[in-house]
Structure 1
Amino acid sequence: MLYINWAKPKLTGVIIIGYKMVCIDLDGTLLDDKRNISEINKEAIRKATNNDIKVIISTGRIFSNAVEYAELLGLNTPIISSSGAVIGDLHFGEFGCRNIIDYDSCRYILEVSLNSDSKISFSSLDTIYTNDFEMKVLLDIVKMKDDTFRNTKISYIQKYSQWDEVFKSGTVKSDIRFKKVADVIKIKNEMAKRFEVVNFTATNLEITNQGVSKGKAIEILAKHFGVSPNEIIAIGDSENDLSMIKYAGMGIAMGNAGKIVIDNSDFTTETNNNNGVAKAINKFVFNRI
């Protein structure tokens, strides 16, 4: 059950052609390569929300970071984060859905990583725990430059024993970074027997509980709002977007998306650096070419 009371915006008189929900990924989709949201994309989202379209952020990012983008866009809708493991409220921090990876499963994921010469991170609602020093340094730099990470904590795990408290605290997603693509394929096949596993990049795996995905999270919200799949648009670029692209009546791949995403989408829009989200919204929501 979602503990959220969303205000219903007033219609502006623009003719809409049937879609009631637009679900948008962040990285490689709404964000350009410099991690900015263009004014053109912002305006398209404002126009959609002003016309009673529910715009949903659906990202692999941690919840505390995703919230900042929702506030930046002025959204008052649920947020899907950690690739579907968390569905959260914007203003009050009440969570309708938080799919925690149990202690033993976390241990198993960690051991697989340690035995495969890879680096690993686990994330909760507001903290990223990692044994990857390069990632820790990179995130610290990002935090200094990017206000959207202001409420996200980075915890560097240096000792094996430290993981125990991390796993007891409740984590919702794990990310493993490999050196070789061949290792990714092997571990992905092994992990897929117990978990939901997708590639974020060619050498990175995202791991959540089995059955957890952006598509499942959108299904939960669709039922909550009384919206059918045919009334939903989903826009993304990566393998972790496939489930929502397949679930939505209109699945849209970014021009910069991987082949597997493009092949499984209904339409391909422009790239993330060329306002692909705005062009998709204008075309399919407002019937503007």
Structure 2
Amino acid sequence: MRYRLILSDIDGTLLNSQHQLTAGVKQAIQAYVAAGGIFVLASARPPLAMTTLARQMGLAVPLVSLNGALIGQPEGEQLRILAATSWPEGVGPRVYHVLSMLPLSLNVFSGTHWYVAAFDKWTDQEAVITDVKPTTAPIRDMLSDNLSVQKMLCMGDPAIVDQAEKIILAHPEWQLVASRSKATYLEIVRQGVSKRSALQTLSSLYNVPIPETMALGDGENDLPMLQAAGLGVTLANALPQVSAVIKTVVPDNDHDGAAVAIQRYAMGEAQ
């Protein structure tokens, strides 16, 4: 086995365009784990949207959720939080106030909770994809009362999402970083939080040197871990800014690209 630890994105990577885990990808993961490999899910998804998928794969290792802002250990039907990195105190109300002026769906994630002010087409779509429903709540009031925020997800038309990204970049004093998981999704977490930092934590936790790790992903938010891993592998359906940097490419997510990556690189001797 060439790579003993794999950190993998979910949507657009493990799941196909219908948001399904195919038999081929599931079998490749199970064969890798049976051979002694450590397979860890890393996603922008909320943690409870990952536990069902982890159970389907037979995985009992920590889950890296919210783009790395929260790492949790599944324990039966519960999730024990191992580490959480929150936004700086007092930043939440300011960010929410400014971004709420744009026609965006604003979603706030705190621990295992997903809060929205109201349901809309974007939250309905994301609920179907993740099989988790958000909770409607008075977010402005909760943020004013110092709600701990690990991530905000902004969903909307790409041009509007561009505006939101520019706003975050224009305020370095907020100590936040924004990245796209897809053209219509902007993920906002605290500076220093990324799937790369999660990879480093897991490398230490499992005593697997970074050169013996592999990362799979397709989104801009996957780039840090793809560049940091011993081998970064992307799929043919990756965003252009990803495929421009990561040159190890496998078939797209509708053709079991993740399975090809596991079998060809992690289990094999290809370089």
* TM-score, normalisation: structure 2: 0.89
Alignment of 1:116 with 2:102, yes or no, is yes
Q: CA deviation at 1:40?
A: 0.5
What is the letter of the counterpart of residue 210 of structure 2?
P
Q: Secondary structure at the match of 1:271?
A: coil
| One-letter identity of the residue aligned with 1:155 | T
Matching residue of 1:130: 116
Structure 1 residues 12-91: aligned runs within 5 Å:
16=1, 18-91=2-75
Q: Does 1:172 align with 2:150?
A: yes
Return the TM-score normalized by structure 1: 0.84
Please give the alpha-carbon distance, in whole angstroms, between the structure 1 residues aligned to 2:63 and 2:142.
Answer: 30
Encode CA deviations 1:199-233: one digit per residue, 9 max, x unaligned: 12224311111100011011011011111111011
Letter in 2 for 1:30: L
CA distance in 2, matches of 1:132, 1:268: 40
Gaps of 5+ in 1: 1-15
Residue equivalent to 1:5: none
Quickly say closer, same or farther: Cα 1:192–1:68, change in 2 above 3 A. farther
Aligned partner (choices 214, 221, 229) of residue 248 of structure 1: 229
Distance in 1 between residues matched to 2:140 and 2:208, nearest whole Å: 46
Unpaired segments ≥5 residues, structure 2:
none
CA shift in 2, pair 1:137/1:37, >3 Å: closer
Residue 155 of structure 1: aligned partner: 135
**1:21 & 1:105 partners in 2: Cα distance?**
35
Among the aligned pairs, what percent are the same residue? 24
Tell me the equivalent position of 1:212.
193
Q: Paired residue for 1:96?
A: 82
Q: Deviations over 1:98-156 (max 9, x none)?
A: 1122441211220221233433110123321123531344456x2xxx7x63xx44122
Write the deviation string for residues 49-76 of structure 1: whole angstroms up to 9, x where unpaired: 0011000000000001111111110012
Separation in 2, partners of 1:204, 1:50: 35
In the alignment, which residue of structure 2 is the partner of 1:278? 259
Structure 1 counterpart of 2:178, from 185, 197, 216: 197
Is the 1:31–1:272 Cα contact (8 Å) retained in structure 2? yes
SS in 1 for 2:216: strand
Question: 1:137 and 1:263, CA in 2 relative to 1: closer, same or farther beyond 3 A?
Answer: closer
Q: Deviations over 1:235-279 (max 9, x none)?
A: 000011011101101001111001211122240111011000000
1:234-245 correspondence runs (5 A): 234-245=215-226
| Equivalent position amino acid for 1:244 in 2 | M
Segments of 4+ moved more than 6 angstroms: none
Kindly indicate whether the alpha-carbon contact (under 8 Å) linking 2:168 and 2:177 is maintained by their aligned counterparts in 1: no
**In structure 2, do the counterparts of structure 1 residues 191 and 178 end up closer, same or farther at CA, with 3 Å as the change threshold?**
farther
How many residues of Structure 1 are paired with residues of Structure 2 in the alignment? 264
